[in-house]
Amino acid sequence: MRRRVVAGNWKMHGSTATIERLLDALVQLTTPQVDVLLFPPIAYLSAVIERVKGSELAVGAQNIHAESSGAFTGEVAAEMVKDLGATHVLVGHSERRRWFGETDTIVAQKFSAALRVGLVPILCVGETSEQRDEGRAEQVVMTQLDAVVAAVGITALQRSMVAYEPVWVIGTGRSATPADAQSMHSAIRARIRTLDAKVADGLRVLYGGSITAANAAALFAGSDVDGGLVGGASLNAEQFENICRAA
């Protein structure tokens, strides 16, 4: 039985005051059957890690650079994120791929950097609406997955998670159906199974894209859906807690 996960991706939202209010509520959350992860903006990473100490929450970064140090102004190394006490990192979020030109090669390098320092990378994959309309959704997702497996090897995936996030659903209020989600999750697991059955059985595959307290239970019902990566709704304590309960 894979343990459920709910991850809140705060993206570039929040301030000291709003984050304090959100955490005042979230630190009280008790979810014995669910791993709850928070991904604040990097500016607040330290403060959030401090604030959640003693709670059941774990904290990660939304992005890292692949190099361990160097002349990369404005970037943050996996080593630094680990040093601050974070445990997880998002890799290859569609917004990184779209707005910051992250290719499958760069994503694989970042995934590898996370493993190098002992952070758990959550590899984000997903197709755009055009790719889906052209019938290429599965091919696109498998190419994104294969690039990482080729770089780090299949057994390394034991120390990671995957998040399937259809790009046409993120932040749109339009949600994929539970059947859409389960179908892609099952394809992802089947692909991994062709390489290593044990890794496939243990890999937690999260769904992401316009998850709300209202649709979470139905989306999480799929047998290959192990939880969710939540954007907008993770900024609202009550919504997020209800999503955790649905998991």
SS3 52: helix
Q: Does residue 65 carry a catalytic annotation?
A: no
171 forms part of the interface with ligand PGA (CB under 6 A): yes
In angstroms, what is the minimal distance from the CB of 68 to ligand PGA? 26
Nearer to ligand PGA, 120 or 200 (CB): 120
Residue 194: Cβ within 10 Å count: 9
CA 168 to chain centre: 17
Looking at the DSSP bridge assignments, the partners of residue 162 are 123, 205
180 forms part of the interface with ligand PGA (CB under 6 A): no
Candidates 65-73, 140-148, 154-162, 207-215; binding stretch for ligand PGA (CB under 6 A): 207-215
Q: Is 17 exposed, middle or buried (0-12, 13-18, 19+ CB in 10 A)?
A: exposed
- CA distances (Å), origin 31, targets 87, 174, 231: 18, 28, 19
What part of residues 3-42 is at the interface with ligand PGA (CB under 6 A)? 9
Nearer to ligand PGA, 92 or 231 (CB): 231
62 forms part of the interface with ligand PGA (CB under 6 A): no
165 forms part of the interface with ligand PGA (CB under 6 A): yes
In angstroms, what is the minimal distance from the CB of 109 to ligand PGA? 21
Among 112, 210, 215, 239, binds ligand PGA (CB under 6 A): 210
- CA distances (Å), origin 222, targets 19, 206, 219: 32, 11, 6
Q: Is 242 exposed, middle or buried (0-12, 13-18, 19+ CB in 10 A)?
A: middle
- Which tokens belong to 234? 């993770």
User: E-assigned strands of the chain?
Assistant: 4-9, 34-39, 57-61, 88-91, 120-125, 161-164, 204-208, 227-230
235 forms part of the interface with ligand PGA (CB under 6 A): no
91 forms part of the interface with ligand PGA (CB under 6 A): no
Catalytic residue among 95, 165, 185, 241: 165
Among 149, 232, 246, 247, binds ligand PGA (CB under 6 A): 232
Contact call for residues 79 and 59 (beta carbons, < 8 A):
no
Candidates 28-36, 97-105, 112-120, 223-231; binding stretch for ligand PGA (CB under 6 A): 223-231
Nearer to ligand PGA, 170 or 184 (CB): 170
- Catalytic (active-site) positions: 93, 165
What residue ranges bind ligand PGA (CB under 6 A)?
9, 165, 170-171, 208-211, 229-233
